[in-house]
Amino acid sequence: MKIVVCIKQVPNTDTVKIDPKTNNLVRSNVEGIINLFDRNAIEAALQLRQQAGGEVILLSMGPNSYISSLRDGLAMGADSAILLSSRKFGGADTLATAYVLSEAIKKIGNVDLILFGRQSVDADTGQVGPIVAEELQVPQVTFAESIELQDKNQLIGHRLLDNLVQEVKVHLPAVVTVRDEMNQPRYETPLNIQKSFEKEIIIWSENELAVDPAQIGQTGSPTVVKRIYSPEKAGRQTTTLPTDPHAAVTQLLEELNN
């Protein structure tokens, strides 16, 4: 089985600030980590590899600093990693990002399964998986809480829709986006960390891919960020309750009943 796991490096969300003068995000000195849900996707891939054999390839699009996340994914046990990196890819929204990922997956060739985390914790869209599925014309199981390989070509997934559990059978190749309920991502072992540094991280730019220049980067992105701001909300009038818990609860219940 050839499994591609698409991962995103995200800033540690508590540390991103907004520059009050320029209203831009200040991203310097922000440590990048693998998007949490993407670890579940890597774990799912590693478990499938254990079951069916094959290889797990990590794929990401971003600047060269993203190598650190790919390295982490390799240390979890993935076989190889590809970074799609180019100035021309910069400023991409979900449509342009998914387009480049799809072209890379076509170039990798003979991929059976493409896994994503359910969504990123920063931009929080969860859109790239379904767009890739559409670009590649393959079926999708989004927000999957379990997947089970039936045979080499079929997979059964369960996904929790808004008030029902849907059981879906897909023929591979397919796209699956993984909920964190599916598994507990493994820790990186010292041996795997050591091994990860022996693995090469392949870098592809637009020169290695058959991409249409009009569909990549900012040019290929229909959406535009109009404004970024820190909302100033009318705060609530806060009453501080007494420090003694019983007195505090007494006052609270009295006020709530009024």
Partner 1 sequence: MNNEIWVFVQVNGQIIEPTSLQLITKAREIAGERPVVALITETKTMNVETTVKEYGPDKIVTLKDAQFHNASDGEIADALDQVVSDLKPNSLLFPATVLGRSVAPRLQAKLKTGLTADCLDIYFDGDDLVQVKPTYGDDIMCEIICPDVRPQMATIRPNIFKAVKHSTDTEIINYSFAFHPEANIEVLSEIPVINSSANISEAKTVIALGRGANNEKVIEKAEKLAGKLGGMVGVSRPLTDNDEFSHENQIGQSGNTIAPDLLINFGISGAVQYAVGIENAKKVVSINTDAHAPIFGKSDYAFVGDADAFMSALLEQVR
Q: Which of 82, 100, 113, 138 touches partner 1 (CB under 8 A)? A: 138
191 versus 224: smaller Cβ distance to partner 1: 224
List the strands of the sheet with 140-151, edge to edge.
Answer: 154-160, 140-151, 174-178, 113-117, 2-6, 55-61, 80-84, 201-204
- Alpha-carbon separation of residue 38 from 72, 74, 123, 211, 251 (angstroms): 11, 13, 14, 25, 46
Provide the 3-class DSSP secondary structure of residue 44: helix
Strands 32-34 and 9-11: antiparallel
- Contact status: 110 vs partner 1 (CB under 8 A): no
Residue among 52, 168, 193, 203 that touches partner 1 (CB under 8 A): 168
Residue 169 interacts with partner 1 (CB under 8 A): yes or no = yes
Q: Which is nearer to partner 1, 22 or 238 (CB)?
A: 238
Does 229 engage in binding with partner 1 (CB under 8 A)? Answer: yes
Candidates 59-67, 83-91, 130-138, 202-210 — which segment interacts with partner 1 by CB under 8 A?
Answer: 130-138
- Least distance (Å) from partner 1 to the CB of residue 222? 4
To partner 1, the closest distance from the beta carbon of 191 in angstroms equals 26
Stretch of 59-67, 73-81, 118-126, 193-201 contacting partner 1, by CB under 8 A: 118-126
3-class state of residue 157 by DSSP: strand
**Binding to partner 1 in span 23-82, by CB under 8 A:** 25
Q: Under the criterion CB under 8 A, does residue 116 sit at the interface with partner 1?
A: no
Structure tokens at 235: 């705060």
Which residues are CB-contacts of 82 (< 8 A; sequence separation ≥ 6)? 57, 58, 59, 60, 104, 108, 201, 202, 203, 204
Tokens 């849907």, residue located: 166
Task: Give the Cβ contact number of residue 151 at 10 Å.
Answer: 8
The nearest distance, CB 111 to partner 1, in angstroms, is 14
Is residue 67 within 8 Å of 203, Cβ to Cβ?
no
14 versus 200: smaller Cβ distance to partner 1: 14
Q: Does 19 bind partner 1 (CB under 8 A)?
A: no
Note whether 170 binds partner 1 by CB under 8 A: yes
Stretch that binds partner 1, among 38-46, 53-61, 107-115, 232-240 (CB under 8 A): 232-240
